[in-house]
Amino acid sequence: MSISRRQFGQLTVGVAAAVTMAFAVTSTSAVAADAQYKFKYGTAFPTDHPGATRIKEAAEAIKKESNGRIEIQVFPQSTLGSEPDMISQVRSGALQFMSTAGTNLQSMVPVAGINGVAFAFKDYNAVWAAMDGDLGKYVHNKLEGINLYTFDKVLDNGYRNITTSTKPINAPADLKNFKIRVPGIPLWIAMFKSMGAAPTSINFGELYSALQTKIVDGQENPLPLIQSAKLYETQKYVSMTGHTWDGHFMFTNLKFWNGLPKDVRDIISKNLNAAAVKQRADIAALNTHLEAELKAKGMVFNYPDKKPFIDALKAAGFYTETKAKYGDEAWATLEKYSGKL
């Protein structure tokens, strides 16, 4: 996810920027002069998204529990740069903490995006069993190989669903030659091509205008982003395909992390992991609320059977090709939770 359209809810671009800077300062009650450890946390999540607000709460809890020794300043809404920029900053040591989707890390560690495999998880029980279990551990270990330490719990960015301006998507045939915007992630581009669509990679900040001007006729995102970007103004239908689940890893530079005292690491880990669990519950509640809200704004929801989409992907060789890219061990770990793909 790359949030450059600086709006969430009713915020305008100017107000959002002002709020973001205020958020960064107040998230640590102004960095105290006597704090022994002063860190920054960057995220692309908007200021009032649970992926940012729960981290702000964690920063306050860390400060309190450490008696002011540890100060973490939280910068939401890509204030510190794009997600690739922030990843580079963490790897160089210029930024201490951040969160981003595993799919944004797969150019360095291909298996980091394995949770994004199409229709891998039938529900959230399967998601959290995998990400809190062996699949998550497998990815954590691989990321350590590029000097990244990832915290145990993963933030929820949600299941991605398709919106369109022209028709509901009920079956793979409805995607035939359909112009759909997707992020520039090879895994997802291949997924939609395998189902016969015509995927186009467009930056999130340009998505609204691309839909408005019919450069594309549809897009796919979790409900919170559909609402925050006001896509209901350009889109009529929401097809609850849940075709892939997206989560954000929280991580830091491994060498930097290992250089911190154990008590500092323990306090930070405890509170960031607790924040992730709370954030997951927030998203679950938000999804229910947003479906009703988007319906009230005129969007029409439909709930397709997923099996025909899975069958289409199998017939196109999508799963066979994806397995070859990740390797047998990683794929077997995924299938412990997804079942045979």
- pLDDT at position 31 is 43
Beta strands in the chain (DSSP E): 37-42, 70-75, 97-101, 148-150, 155-164, 179-182, 198-201, 218-221, 237-253, 300-302
Contact call for residues 44 and 78 (beta carbons, < 8 A): yes
Tokens of 265: 């690491």
Distance CA 193, CA 73 (A): 41
Indicate if the pLDDT at residue 28 is higher than 70: no
Q: How confident is the model over 43-102, as pLDDT tens digits?
A: 988 888 899 999 999 999 999 999 999 999 999 988 999 889 999 999 999 999 999 999
Indicate if the pLDDT at residue 6 is higher than 80: no
Instruction: Give the type of residue at 193.
Output: K
Distance CA 313, CA 161 (A): 17
- % of residues, the chain, pLDDT over 90: 81
- pLDDT at position 288 is 85
Q: Is 3 part of any domain?
A: no
What is the DSSP code (8-state) at residue 196?
Answer: T
CATH number at residue 208: 3.40.190.170
Indicate if the pLDDT at residue 114 is higher than 50: yes
Give the pLDDT band (50/70/90) at residue 258.
very high
- pLDDT at position 117 is 97
Indicate if the pLDDT at residue 30 is higher than 80: no
Give the pLDDT band (50/70/90) at residue 33.
low
Domain count, the chain: 1
Q: Is 190 part of any domain?
A: yes
CA nearest 185: which of 69, 255, 101? 101
Region of poorest pLDDT, from 5-9, 95-99, 117-121: 5-9
Q: What is the pTM of this model?
A: 0.86
Q: Is 6 part of any domain?
A: no
Give the pLDDT band (50/70/90) at residue 21.
very low
Contact call for residues 97 and 42 (beta carbons, < 8 A): yes
Indicate if the pLDDT at residue 120 is higher than 70: yes
Distance CA 174, CA 160 (A): 17
- pLDDT at position 4 is 38
- Grouping H, G, I as helix, E, B as strand and the rest as coil, residue 221 is strand
Distance CA 337, CA 143 (A): 21
- pLDDT at position 224 is 87
Q: Is 287 part of any domain?
A: yes
Indicate if the pLDDT at residue 15 is higher than 80: no
Q: Is 5 part of any domain?
A: no
Distance CA 223, CA 213 (A): 22
Indicate if the pLDDT at residue 12 is higher than 50: no
Strand 155-164 with 237-253, pairing: antiparallel
Give the pLDDT band (50/70/90) at residue 284.
very high
Q: Is 8 part of any domain?
A: no
Phi, psi of 79 (to 5 degrees): -60, -35
- Grouping H, G, I as helix, E, B as strand and the rest as coil, residue 201 is strand
Q: Is 153 part of any domain?
A: yes
Distance CA 294, CA 238 (A): 9
In which domain, by residue range, is 80 found?
A: 13-338
Indicate if the pLDDT at residue 3 is higher than 70: no
- Of 25 and 303, the one with more pLDDT: 303
- For the residues 216-238, what does the mean pLDDT come to? 93
- Of 204 and 293, the one with more pLDDT: 293
Mean pLDDT for all residues in the chain: 90
Distance CA 309, CA 269 (A): 39
